[in-house]
Amino acid sequence: MNIRDSEFVMGLLIDNGFTRAESAEKADIILFNSCSVREHAEDRLISNIADLKLEKKKRPRLVIGLIGCTAQNHKSKMLERLPVLDIVCGPGNESDLPRMIKDVLKDRCSMVAVDKVDDKRPELFPSYRENKFKAFVSIGEGCDNYCSYCIVPYVRGRERSRDIEDIVREVNDLAGRGYKEVTLLGQNVNSYKGSRVQGPGSRKNIKTGFAELLQKINGIKGIERIRFMTSHPKDAHVELFKAMRDLDKICEHLHLPIQSGSDRILKLMNRNYARAKYLKLVEEYKKFVPGGSITTDIIAGFPSESDRDFNDTVDLMKEVGFDGAFTFKYSSRPPARSAELIDDVSEALKQERLEMLMVLQREISRKRNEETCGKIVQVLVDGPSERQPSLLSGRTRTNKNTIFQGPKKLTGKLVEVKIESVKPHTLIGRMT
Ligand code: SAH
Ligand code: SF4
């Protein structure tokens, strides 16, 4: 989501006559797009911005801005904490950035804009995209779920769905420009409301709103692959899995964050589902989408998490057999509600649990990957592999990173690869 937001802002600035600098040293304007989901990222961001103090002394006309969730979270306090900043702009106000930058350049005063946290982003559509064949498409903003640990509802505002017509128009435009893959983005894509009906009473659309959107996008000529994230287990339904089965362009990958395998912790997290419901969903997914992959997010060390709670998570991981998992150490994020609970799992124990989860997941991922050995998979080629530039890399429909030999000119093309060996995070094969 942050990648898409940065791209949106870059496009907006380019459309307003700015050009992209080759490096921060050569730039007249430096914007930091921030994430505040975890404390560690915020701490690093603050020290990175503070590091620009000397540069700003040397070049007083340099404009430095903070955008994204940390801007929304701390508002004008960021200006006091980081005097090098000229601009603090929340996600809802980012459409105003070209004007704000021009004002700062003219008057040399600092500016804070954080009042549009609940606004719908205008349909501005800067055409700029970082990638030439894969695109992120936002289908909505904000979140109403208030998971107790999560800051997103406070910094991204109330959930609002983009109109279906606008999304379809954007994807049509991308298809016309040669894009092959779209990833639909929302904090909770399953609660996408569709059409222009929104607000209370529109819940009846929940089961079908997202499936309807998928159906429309599936009909767009030129688009070959559709991905989406993130799905919330409380709103995920068999309808979605049926759509994945029936619509040929939807990739067989589901990202379904579980967060914890303990019902007691899930309750404290305000996730609104129990372990049994999650396992039932997984069973249905596997039934409707055989061969599909499933990935998840897990938080280790939520307040009061006991060995028993943690073991419930470990058992669930083994039972589901995730293809991949993003694992995080819990961090307290006021004003998120869990900040009122005592953060009583020690840092050392959080670290230990995190490492146990990572080791276990590596093993499970490798086993899951082994099931692809000898099979032929379709890969969309991203280009030369970052780690081994003599090889090409790309993603399978199940979102597995795959490396193989081939010419660079295949970048952006769909190819077939026979898998010969695997690692926990990579498939290795040969083009057929
Ligand atoms: N809307 C998505 C993504 C939310 S943020 C969803 O519901 O899944 C991405 C992940 O960050 C979450 O799934 C969660 O695992 C993690 N996360 C969020 N808040 C956190 C916190 N306070 N401490 C640690 N991890 C957190
Ligand atoms: Fe945060 Fe929960 Fe919303 Fe995801 S669903 S953004 S974890 S509040």
Q: What is the pLDDT of residues 260-314, one digit of tens each?
A: 999 999 999 999 999 999 999 999 999 999 999 999 999 999 999 999 999 999 9
Q: Which residue has the tokens 């994807």?
A: 171
224, pLDDT greater than 60? yes
Are the C-beta atoms of 182 and 170 separated by less than 8 Å? Answer: no
Confidence (pLDDT) at 108: 84
Strand partners, 255: 295
77-84 long-range CB contacts below 8 Å, 24 or more apart? 79/110, 79/112, 81/46, 82/46, 82/49, 82/50, 84/49, 84/50, 84/52, 84/53, 84/56
Q: What is the mean pLDDT of residues 115-135?
A: 92
Q: Whole-angstrom Cα distance, residue 231 to residue 325?
A: 14
Nearest to 78 by CA among 116, 135, 34: 34
Confidence (pLDDT) at 136: 97
The tokens for 289 are 């989408």
Domain 253-370 in CATH 3.30.750.200: yes
Q: What atom of ligand 2 comes closest to residue 146's alpha carbon? A: 8
Q: What is the mean pLDDT of residues 319-339?
A: 97
Q: Is 241 in the pocket of ligand 1 (CB under 6 A)?
A: no
Distance (angstroms) between ligand 2 centre and the Cα of 261 equals 17
Q: Is 172 in the pocket of ligand 2 (CB under 6 A)?
A: no
Q: What atom of ligand 2 comes closest to residue 188's alpha carbon? A: 5
Strand partners, 89: 67, 113
Are the C-beta atoms of 142 and 157 separated by less than 8 Å? Answer: yes
Q: Which ligand is nearest to the CA of 41?
A: 1
Q: Is 188 in the pocket of ligand 2 (CB under 6 A)?
A: yes
**Secondary structure class of 214 (helix, strand, coil):** helix
Chain-centroid distance of CA 116 in Å reads: 22
- Superfamily for the 376-431 domain: Nucleic acid-binding proteins (2.40.50.140)
What is the pLDDT of the chain when averaged over all its residues? Answer: 95
DSSP class of 163: P
The tokens for 300 are 């280790």
Exposure of 261 by Cβ count < 10 A (0-12 exposed, 13-18 middle, 19+ buried)? buried
Would you report the helix, strand and coil content of the chain in percent, each value rounded to 5? 40, 20, 40
Confidence (pLDDT) at 203: 47
Confidence (pLDDT) at 200: 52
Closest residue (by CA) to atom 12 of ligand 1? 297
Within the chain, all domains assigned CATH 3.30.750.210 are found at 131-251
C-alpha distances in angstroms, 111 versus 52, 68, 70, 71, 97? 18, 15, 15, 12, 10
pLDDT per residue as tens digits for the range 37-66: 999 889 999 999 999 999 999 999 999 999
Write the CATH number of the domain with boundaries 131-251.
3.30.750.210
Q: Is 343 in the pocket of ligand 1 (CB under 6 A)?
A: no
Q: What is the mean pLDDT of residues 410-432?
A: 97
35, pLDDT greater than 50? yes
Are the C-beta atoms of 114 and 89 separated by less than 8 Å? Answer: yes
**Secondary structure class of 338 (helix, strand, coil):** helix
More confident: 122 or 369: 369
Chain-centroid distance of CA 190 in Å reads: 15
Write the CATH number of the domain with boundaries 2-113.
3.40.50.12160
Q: Whole-angstrom Cα distance, residue 164 to residue 196?
A: 8
By DSSP bridging, strand 181-185 and strand 293-300 are unpaired
Q: Which ligand is nearest to the CA of 146?
A: 2
Closest residue (by CA) to atom 1 of ligand 2? 150
Strand ranges inside 245-358, DSSP E: 253-255, 293-300, 324-329
Confidence (pLDDT) at 216: 96
By DSSP bridging, strand 414-422 and strand 134-138 are unpaired
147, pLDDT greater than 60? yes
pLDDT per residue as tens digits for the range 171-212: 999 999 999 999 999 999 999 987 655 455 454 445 568 999
Strand partners, 403: 393, 428
DSSP class of 148: T
Q: Whole-angstrom Cα distance, residue 420 to residue 377?
A: 11
Q: Is 272 in the pocket of ligand 2 (CB under 6 A)?
A: no
422, pLDDT greater than 50? yes
Q: Whole-angstrom Cα distance, residue 265 to residue 259?
A: 9
Chain-centroid distance of CA 239 in Å reads: 23
Q: Which of 73, 160, 232, 266 is the best mutation target for the ligand 2 pocket, counting ligand atoms within 8 Å of the beta carbon and taking the most?
A: 232
Q: Which ligand is nearest to the CA of 297?
A: 1
Q: What is the mean pLDDT of residues 392-397?
A: 98
Confidence (pLDDT) at 207: 53
The tokens for 31 are 């914007």
Q: Whole-angstrom Cα distance, residue 293 to residue 9?
A: 33
420, pLDDT greater than 50? yes
Exposure of 360 by Cβ count < 10 A (0-12 exposed, 13-18 middle, 19+ buried)? middle
110, pLDDT greater than 80? yes
Are the C-beta atoms of 11 and 128 separated by less than 8 Å? Answer: yes
Within the chain, all domains assigned CATH 3.30.750.200 are found at 253-370
Nearest to 268 by CA among 187, 347, 339: 339
